[in-house]
Structure 1
Amino acid sequence: MRRLTFLLFPLVLTACSAGVLRVQPAAEWSLDSDAFQVDAAAFRDISRQVGDEARAECLRQAKVNNCDFTILVDLNPRASANAFQTLDEDDQPVIIVTRAMIQSVQNPDELAFVMGHEAAHHVLGHIARQSENAQESAVIFNELGKLHGEGGEDLERTQKLGAEVGVQVNVKAFELEADQLGTIITHNAGYNPLVGAKYFDRIPDPGDQFLGTHPPNAARVQIVLETAKQLGLTQ
């Protein structure tokens, strides 16, 4: 599991166990995106709404016990456009959104959709499931390596390869699952996931690569459209 090992310039929003949102003060900041300006207050508002709904969905699904979300913005100008979900030292979910990611979105709906997607990864227990897949695959590759007479460093490399393959096996399915639940979280938070999903129109399409980390953009848009239709949303 990844931990927070780098410097963040945080605006922290935590949904406490009692259901009360706690906001940790942070320095004022403002970023111009492609079509609108995001400042600390705007980011806090979007985070509050998405974080609240993510926590509610987490408690409803009861797949994990730790549902107290923290949302951080990394203002490091050298960090690439990215958002991801990890865990803090108390095993609580953390969503990190980089400065470049914020600058790449065109409206609050896209930013909310990104947050909702990352929150969904935690709600669905993807970190734990990836770890289990990696361990199981490493054991299988270890046995195969032994059958071929491997030992020492060669066997260690085979185990490592097995763990990497195990992580990749379901990673595309996990992304689609997160897109589906992220659509629901975004909608429940008061944002339009159909507008948010327009972000896929501007990012490179990974295609359908073997052992790729993400499914084709078209498949991701399709799952959003199907889920939005079930929610009664139309384009």
Structure 2
Amino acid sequence: MRKLIAAATTALLAACTSTTDPVPQQSAAPVAMRDTQSSVSDYYRVAARVEPVAESVCRSFHANKPRGFCDFQVKVNTDPSQPANAYQTIGADGRPIITFNVNMLRSFRNDHEIAFVFGHEAGHQIARHIEQTQANQLAGAVLGGILVAVGGGDARVGVDIGGAIGGRSYSKKFELEADTIAAHIADRAGYNAAIGARTFERTRGSSALLATHPPSTQRMSQVARTIQTINTAKSQGGRAPVAW
């Protein structure tokens, strides 16, 4: 058993990067792409306003974590050949990195969408989704290795398959949680989360995307419910606590 766990851990460390599932934009209709320079400039401008809010929310949940845990780095992938995408990773120094590639930035229609997707990626860190995904991958790899080995097969094949299944086991749940956190962050930063969530209107449900992400209609409904909670708290003179 110890050898199998060690093999699973080694395989996962070799195969996995510390990243959340990306948020690809797959348009149901052609998207009018903006120019690169202004798109990147808008991103940094909005991020400068949203990042302190995301950092504050993160620290409210993780006061005992190292300070870098909530200190978001903001980056742009300038490779024009990459499909529109945004993702969160962990740097070598332990700080979370939020990266938007240039084609994602060019697809945004307004600041609200930038703020919402930034909040979504920050939400993955706040909810500790990378840590949970890696734990699920390890558990799945060990179980897969055991089952295949018991059946007389190559345990390494079971490790690979089990790890892949384990890593995706809660991915849709994690996406909805990140959407909920994003609505709170965008609102607190002064942006309209309902407008921001309309980025989902341009996402079509390919089989690859639906393997890790909920349908766009479900995500928009989740955001709408969160906004209702936020607005109800405001009408009562308070502020809704961030929950997911």
Q: TM-score under structure 2 normalisation?
A: 0.76
Q: Give the superposition deviation at 1:206.
A: 4.2
Q: In structure 2, which of residues 126, 146, 149 is the aligned counterpart of residue 146 of structure 1?
A: 149
Alignment-derived partner of residue 197 in structure 1: 197
Work out the CA distance in 2 between the residues paired with 1:211 and 1:39: 28
Work out the CA distance in 2 between the residues paired with 1:188 and 1:128: 26
Work out the CA distance in 2 between the residues paired with 1:112 and 1:187: 9
Q: Aligned-pair RMSD on alpha carbons? A: 2.3
Are 1:69 and 2:69 an aligned pair? Answer: no
Q: In structure 2, which of residues 102, 105, 110 is the aligned counterpart of residue 107 of structure 1?
A: 110
Alignment-derived partner of residue 164 in structure 2: 164
Alignment-derived partner of residue 6 in structure 2: none
* Structure 2 runs not aligned, ≥5 long: 1-15, 20-32, 233-244
Q: Which amino acid aligns with 1:105?
A: F
Q: Give the superposition deviation at 1:215.
A: 0.6
> Is contact 1:3-1:89 (8 Å) kept?
no
SS at the partner of 2:70? coil
Are 1:79 and 2:78 an aligned pair? Answer: no
Work out the CA distance in 2 between the residues paired with 1:166 and 1:49: 36
Alignment-derived partner of residue 22 in structure 2: none
Alignment-derived partner of residue 187 in structure 1: 187
Q: Give the superposition deviation at 1:45.
A: 2.0
Alignment-derived partner of residue 38 in structure 1: 39
Q: Give the superposition deviation at 1:97.
A: 0.3
Work out the CA distance in 2 between the residues paired with 1:39 and 1:84: 16
Q: Which amino acid aligns with 2:150?
A: L
C-alpha deviations, 1:68-87, integer Å up to 9, x for none?
10011122211210000001
Q: Give the superposition deviation at 1:223.
A: 0.5
> Is contact 2:146-2:158 (8 Å) kept?
no
Q: Give the superposition deviation at 1:146.
A: 2.0
Q: TM-score under structure 1 normalisation?
A: 0.79
More helix by share: 2
Alignment-derived partner of residue 89 in structure 1: 92
Work out the CA distance in 1 between the residues paired with 2:210 and 2:161: 12
Q: Which amino acid aligns with 1:171?
A: S
SS at the partner of 1:231? helix
Compared CA separation, residues 113 and 211, structure 1 to 2 (3 A): closer
SS at the partner of 1:58? helix
Q: Which amino acid aligns with 2:17?
A: R
User: Map of 1:127-138 to 2, 5 A cutoff?
Assistant: 127-138=130-141
Alignment-derived partner of residue 216 in structure 1: 215
Work out the CA distance in 2 between the residues paired with 1:210 and 1:110: 19
* Structure 1 runs not aligned, ≥5 long: 5-31
Alignment-derived partner of residue 230 in structure 2: 231
Give percent identity, aligned residues only.
Answer: 32
Compared CA separation, residues 3 and 140, structure 1 to 2 (3 A): closer
Q: Which amino acid aligns with 1:46?
A: V
Q: Give the superposition deviation at 1:161.
A: 0.3
Q: Give the superposition deviation at 1:33.
A: 2.3
Q: Which amino acid aligns with 2:185?
A: I
Work out the CA distance in 1 between the residues paired with 2:194 and 2:222: 11
Compared CA separation, residues 39 and 134, structure 1 to 2 (3 A): closer
Work out the CA distance in 2 between the residues paired with 1:44 and 1:200: 22
